[in-house]
Amino acid sequence: MSTSRENRLRVAIQKSGRLSERSLDLLKNCGLQFARSKDKLFWYGKDFPVDLLLVRDDDIPRLLLDGVCDLGFVGENIAMEVMLERNGGEGLRPLRQLGFGQCRLCIAVPEDMDITDSAELEGKRIATSYPALTRHLLDKKGINTEIVELAGSVEIAPGLGTADAISDLVSTGTTLRANHLRELEVLFESQASLYGRDGAISTQRQLLLDRLLARLEGVMQASESKYVMLHAPRNALEKITELLPGVEHPSIMPLEGTDRIAIHAVCGETVFWEHLEALKAAGASAILVLPVEKMLA
Ligand code: ATP
Ligand code: ZN
């Protein structure tokens, strides 16, 4: 087992918050196991030379830019904010969207404000915890505003009179409604993503990175996939293949002494009840849908 930093990858994830559990689950599903340190901030990778750093999500992009870690699981909103604020919008390399932590950066205004278009915010005060990203996105639309930077509780700023509108992260919209605000416009759609750093890394680390990315791809694909088994009339094969979501080449086995066949296939897209009903209507029987645990293309 190699111990030098050069032969190991360091991955940063959020210590506690909305992204923590899913990030750690993904790494564990990639076969990584960790020995926790006493301070619980650094976890040593046991079988695979990948170590974990548990930090505040806001620190992850900076740790990447400074070369303290090689990979980071973080919301695109944070990655963009830090890159724009610190590095002219560059420096981090998005490697893969992770399909969780979905939210949107929205402009919201008081419910009773008479406004239909963000262009009408010209010259107004916008409270946000994402000053660089908000300014960048409003600049692109040619709207000049005064940005009021707040670390938290952005949604109460209009009520307090410290801003006319806000630019904040929304997932369900409950917080906005509770504060008598309404969504005017979506500025940016975000989800958790895996980031690396622009520029070359050592060959050894690149090899490790490629292995980890291949495993991650397999885990992500497996979680989206289902293994479907069914029986069908031989002459319905073409129709059945068309009805299986995300399948091109199913495996086909004859059922001795009948004109029916068994079809097995990995469906790369979500399998809904509607799909199963359509398969049954096309002559399929004994339909089984199973989860896929691991996958390596
Ligand atoms: P930390 O202590 O690590 O700084 P935090 O309070 O900044 O935590 P969380 O609230 O856990 O962070 O959010 C982490 C990320 O989750 C956000 O940056 C964003 O990418 C994503 N997210 C998803 N839905 C929401 C939401 N409704 N509000 C805020 N963030 C959300
Ligand atoms: Zn944070």
Mean pLDDT of the residues in the chain: 94
- Do residues 218 and 229 share a domain? no
- Do residues 62 and 111 share a domain? no
Which residue reads 């006493």 in tokens? 38
Nearest CA to ligand 1 atom 4: 56
Can you tell me which atom of ligand 1 is nearest the CA of 15? Answer: 3
Calculate how far, in angstroms, residue 200's C-alpha sits from the geometric centre of ligand 2. Answer: 28
Nearest CA to ligand 1 atom 18: 75
Query: What was the pLDDT predicted at 297?
Result: 74
Question: Cα–Cα distance between 146 and 134 in angstroms, integer?
Answer: 11
- Do residues 79 and 209 share a domain? yes
Q: Is residue 183 part of a domain?
A: yes
269 band by pLDDT with thresholds 50, 70 and 90:
confident
Mean pLDDT calculated for residue range 15-43 = 93
pTM passes above 0.75: yes
Mean pLDDT calculated for residue range 203-219 = 94
Q: Which of 15, 57, 150 to mutate to test the pocket of ligand 1 (most atoms within 8 A of CB)?
A: 57
Query: What was the pLDDT predicted at 10?
Result: 96
Calculate how far, in angstroms, residue 93's C-alpha sits from the geometric centre of ligand 2. Answer: 20
CATH number of the domain residue 232 falls in: 3.30.70.120
Nearest CA to ligand 1 atom 14: 18
- Do residues 89 and 198 share a domain? yes
Q: Is residue 126 part of a domain?
A: yes
- Do residues 173 and 285 share a domain? no
Q: What does the pLDDT look like over 218-267, one tens digit per residue? A: 999 898 899 999 999 999 999 999 999 988 899 999 999 999 999 999 99
Could you tell me the two tokens for 216?
Answer: 């991650």
Q: What angle do CA 275, 227, 236 make, to 5 degrees?
A: 50
3 band by pLDDT with thresholds 50, 70 and 90:
low
- Do residues 89 and 200 share a domain? yes
Calculate how far, in angstroms, residue 193's C-alpha sits from the geometric centre of ligand 2. Answer: 15
Q: What does the pLDDT look like over 156-203, one tens digit per residue? A: 999 999 999 999 999 999 999 999 999 999 999 999 999 999 998 889
Q: Which of 53, 169, 172 to mutate to test the pocket of ligand 1 (most atoms within 8 A of CB)?
A: 169
Query: What was the pLDDT predicted at 89?
Result: 83
- Do residues 109 and 185 share a domain? yes
Q: Is residue 297 part of a domain?
A: no
Calculate how far, in angstroms, residue 18's C-alpha sits from the geometric centre of ligand 1. Answer: 6
Can you tell me which atom of ligand 1 is nearest the CA of 18? Answer: 11
Neighbours of ion ligand 2 (CB under 5 A): 57-58
89 conformational bin, left if phi > 0, alpha if psi -120 to 50, beta if neither: left
**Cross-strand pairs, 11:** 52, 71
Using an 8 Å Cβ cutoff, are 249 and 49 in contact? no
Query: What was the pLDDT predicted at 7?
Result: 87
Question: Cα–Cα distance between 43 and 50 in angstroms, integer?
Answer: 9
Domain region containing 279: 225-291
What end-to-end distance do the CA atoms of the chain give, in Å? 27
